[in-house]
Structure 1
Amino acid sequence: MPTSNAIVGIDLADVKQMVVVCDHDSRVLARRTFRCKAWDLGPALDWAAGHAARHGFTGVTLACEPTGHRWRILDQLAADRGMSFVCVQPTMSAWARKSEDLTFDKTDDKDAVLIARMTAQLRCYLPEPADETWGRLRHLGNRRDELLEIHGSSVHRLRDLLECVWPAALATAAYPFRSTTWVAALAVITGRDGGDLDRTRRLGADRFERMVRAEMVRRGKVRPCLRIVRNLFTALSDPAGVHTHRPGAFERIAWVLGDWDRARTQQVDVEAQMVAVLDELELTHLVTTIPGLSPVGAAAILAHTGDLRRFTSARAVVKHAGLAPRERMSGTFTGKARLTGAGRPELRTAAWRAVWGCLQTNKVYAARYRHLTTRETNKLKATQAQTVIAGAILRQLHAVVVHRQAWDPAIATGHARGQEPLVAA
């Protein structure tokens, strides 16, 4: 943000782009509305550069909100012209908009000026630089999140449908949707009887078992759990359920099972590609030195952080995920600390998922979790302690990637600093 540069605030939209040229005192030197797509903003940038030059500035700094993917287009247009480019957080803009005149006024003109003013106040940040490899990892991570969402929604739909038309099936296994045998048997039933359970029951237990075995082989497994197979066959005689809805519901169940299978197959392929990108970045051997953190889990986190070297500190990564604590204190009052919740929710979810594997196999994190949940003063609940572990994973992953140094349990527990042994950093 050199003082020799004018500030160009741009409020991006679909076909209407508001462009203002301001100095560092937020005085508007020129403004204009361009009715075009983001890809056609090249002449607008040239127009802004011309006005900046006429007012004595040697260059311009572009600023916008990173909404959608239009800001990436503007980033490329600015790079082609050798212009500086920064972004302003939309949340910051919303707060500043209310503080302007204590109203909720929102217009394109005001928003563009507000973006320029916040940039002059240095309330902006440098966006992640464009990189093909990191960009591909981010898109793969987003695709994996979509497939996991399909997976989860399919389970909920299957449960709802079965509770309506055949509730006995859900009681045949402790965790039915985690059992390949149960899913294979359900696929056999929905694929042949169309809701007429008597038709499958007339097959007999032995023939039904052989069909389930064949379905298991098709799904890449060999040995079914015979207890679940027999329980499902017995449940075929259970009269509970809305019989009039069974034909339509079983048809939907077959469709949902197909969506679920496709999502799981694509998820395996996407995760393999994510690990391959991690290998290309030469990070797999580093991130897997953290016990309990799988290559897929690390790739999922890095897909939403981008290159961790762009963060000034490990705490900045935690803030980026919205896992930093938010304190409330005033005078003698001390409120309850909560998470900020700001930042990238996808990153927060990826870090949260990594906690479960780490608590099982990482002795440092497991000891830290036990300490937080069992100490006598300020004892945390289970979810609060898991949140602390999620933040520790992000901080230590930042150290591992930035310094290119394998994870060391001694450093993680504070022994290397000559302090008293801590449970975890």
Structure 2
Amino acid sequence: MQNTRLEKLTLITESTLIVGVDIAKKTHYAQCCDFRGIKIYKAFPFQNTKNDIECLLARLHEIQQQHNKSSIIIGMEPTGHYWENLANELKNQGFLVVLVSSLHVHQSKELDDNSPAKTDAKDAGVIASLVKDGRFSIPNMPKGIYADIRNLIRFRDQIVQERIRYTLRLQTLLDRYFPERAGVFKDVKGKASLATLKEYPFPEDINNAYIEAITVIMSAATHKKVGKAKAQALMKAAQNSIGITEGIYSARLQLASLTQMLEHLMAENEQIEQHLKELLTQIHYAQSILTIPGMGPVLTATIVSEIGDIERFSNWKQLRKLAGLNLKETSSGEHKGKTRITKRGRSRLRCALYRAALIMIAKVPEFQALHTYFTTRAENQLAGKQSVTAICCKLLRIIFSLAKKGGTYQPQQALGEYRRKQLELAA
């Protein structure tokens, strides 16, 4: 993969036709220019249809022949998901497709004409100019199993968000009609909780029931892990409830719908996680990542979905930049600003690494020691979240090494000789 701007500039020669495309939902705009950024054809629109894309390709080949260009590079701004269809079609036709940052387009649009005006044709020209300067990235469009894993991870995230929303709505309803119930069940979507909600949702239902009947329902739902003690606590809470009693008929309808949706979403989530486990067995480096303590199938699948083919990377620092964990500093004159992470990367990858780092700090001895060292050392002491971020980078380095070399996680080698000596001196 092209990593530096200099390497990207080697793709732009005198015989390169540069095409900037401003992406929209239905109508895109294309602007052609040469390696110096001189426009050689008027910007033109085309529809996001197969027929219009074929017409676009025919026109580009015609322009290429007229100006004696031997290669074509097509740049576009990743506007939502609308760019994916066009980019995929162009890549299948053998074109080099690159992406420019939306932030760069916004900041560069006034450089040529000193005007804040914004049009589709102008944006296409700005995109072409950025490509000419090597300010682009080559997108990773996952294929095969990597595409399936990424789609499933995104779908799972959507289901988790839906489950949270329905849980909050259910909790709000219960807070009105049975506020004491929260003291009996810590998790409203637990097995015992959902089972009793179906049969005895409100205080009047529980007060008219026998404790044996409630006990049987709880025991069956939890394989006898919850029983009579919890049933007694629930009955006591119902007897002293101050929940409202008006509108109970409509509340029953709402509660039945909410519990049904919650159970459906939880079942969907379990199925997706099972599919992810099966797909991970087909990724050669996923099994090595799973040997790291705290790295379960979901976290591993999330990381794999964002990294894709590990052979695209030659250095772990490329992964660090992909995750947006590389550092930035804002300084001017005598002012020296704080050093922070850029967050200019894959947020899902960064989130997965952060969650994994928290688990490892809590449960893995070598990372517990490293976190303690970072937060207590005499020089360059880190705050709590700074230490977690540093451990994210360490974890990413371990993942890269295991993915490239194979093998399993070795606690003795995880921190490296340099860090081990530091920890020994600090002990």
Q: Which moved more, 1:95-104 or 1:379-388?
A: 95-104
Matched, 1:83 2:89: no
Cα distance 1:239–1:407, how it changes in 2: closer, same or farther (>3 A)?
A: closer
Contact 2:17 2:35 in 1 (8 A): yes
If the length of structure 2 is used for normalisation, what is the TM-score? 0.87
Contact 2:286 2:304 in 1 (8 A): no
Of 179, 182, 185 in structure 2, the residue corresponding to residue 170 of structure 1 is: 182
CA distance in 1, matches of 2:393, 2:70: 43
The answer for the alignment partner of 2:41 in structure 1 is 30
CA distance in 2, matches of 1:244, 1:99: 65
CA distance in 2, matches of 1:248, 1:381: 51
CA distance in 1, matches of 2:85, 2:177: 51
CA distance in 2, matches of 1:280, 1:419: 35
- CA drift of 1:165 comes to 2.5
CA distance in 2, matches of 1:98, 1:339: 28
The answer for the alignment partner of 1:208 in structure 2 is 214
Contact 1:6 1:57 in 2 (8 A): yes
Superposition pairs of residues 14-413 of structure 1, within 5 angstroms: 14-39=25-50, 40-97=52-109, 104-173=116-185, 175-177=186-188, 179-190=190-201, 195=202, 197-214=203-220, 216=221, 221-413=223-415
Contact 1:413 1:421 in 2 (8 A): no
- CA drift of 1:346 comes to 2.2
SS in 2 for 1:6: strand
Cα distance 1:418–1:326, how it changes in 2: closer, same or farther (>3 A)?
A: closer
Matched letter for residue 78 of structure 1: L
Q: Which moved more, 1:360-369 or 1:14-23?
A: 360-369
SS in 2 for 1:41: helix
- CA drift of 1:115 comes to 0.9
In structure 1, list runs of 5 or more residues that go unmatched. none
CA distance in 2, matches of 1:102, 1:162: 59
CA distance in 2, matches of 1:185, 1:381: 45
Cα distance 1:130–1:288, how it changes in 2: closer, same or farther (>3 A)?
A: closer
SS in 1 for 2:94: coil
- CA drift of 1:169 comes to 0.7
CA distance in 2, matches of 1:393, 1:241: 49
- CA drift of 1:41 comes to 1.2
Measured against aligned partners, the alpha-carbon deviations of 1:134-169 in whole angstroms (never above 9, x if no partner) come to: 111110111111122122223322222222332111
CA distance in 2, matches of 1:267, 1:278: 17
If the length of structure 1 is used for normalisation, what is the TM-score? 0.87
Measured against aligned partners, the alpha-carbon deviations of 1:113-149 in whole angstroms (never above 9, x if no partner) come to: 1111111111111111542111111101111111221
Percent of paired sites with the same residue? 24
Cα distance 1:29–1:128, how it changes in 2: closer, same or farther (>3 A)?
A: same
Cα distance 1:272–1:98, how it changes in 2: closer, same or farther (>3 A)?
A: farther
Contact 2:142 2:308 in 1 (8 A): no
Cα distance 1:136–1:389, how it changes in 2: closer, same or farther (>3 A)?
A: same
- CA drift of 1:6 comes to 0.7
Matched letter for residue 173 of structure 2: L
CA distance in 2, matches of 1:34, 1:269: 44
Matched letter for residue 395 of structure 1: R
CA distance in 2, matches of 1:87, 1:94: 14
